[in-house]
């Protein structure tokens, strides 16, 4: 399933990007020449924007980068849930002392 439907390709391609002169991009998209600060971001871009043109190596890099991103997002969600729980019980604890 492609995630391209979330964004119109014309809208995404119309976003201007620039790289400062003293910075070298880690990787560039071989299809649209867009620069990326990390190889992982380039692999994610290739899988989401150029899914049909990928060779086996690029597809494996995309799947690996996608798995890593999914794991990091899961950990981020766990941290957010823990923050909500701590905030809820913190306010409840404080409220009990004020009310009593």
Residue 47 contacts residue 66 (beta carbons within 8 Å): yes
Residues 6 or more apart whose Cβ sits within 8 Å of residue 69: 40, 44
Measured from the CB of residue 81, what is the shortest distance to Zn ion in angstroms?
34
Site string for Zn ion, 34-63 (x = CB under 5 A): x--------------x--------------
Does residue 26 bind Zn ion (CB under 5 A)?
A: no
Residue in 8, 26, 31, 85 binding Zn ion, rule: CB under 5 A = 31
84 binds Zn ion (CB under 5 A): no
**By 3-state DSSP, what share of the chain in percent is helix, strand and coil, each rounded to 5?**
65, 5, 30
């Amino acid at each position: 399933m492609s995630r391209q439907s979330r964004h119109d390709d014309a809208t995404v391609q119309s976003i201007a990007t620039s790289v400062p002169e003293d910075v070298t991009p880690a990787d560039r998209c071989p299809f649209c020449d867009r620069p990326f600060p990390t190889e992982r971001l380039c692999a994610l871009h290739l899988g989401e924007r150029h899914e049909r043109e990928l060779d086996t190596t690029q597809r494996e890099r995309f799947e690996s980068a996608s798995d890593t991103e999914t794991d990091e997002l899961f950990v981020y969600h766990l941290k957010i849930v823990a923050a909500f729980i701590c905030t809820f019980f913190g306010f409840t604890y404080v409220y009990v002392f004020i009310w009593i």
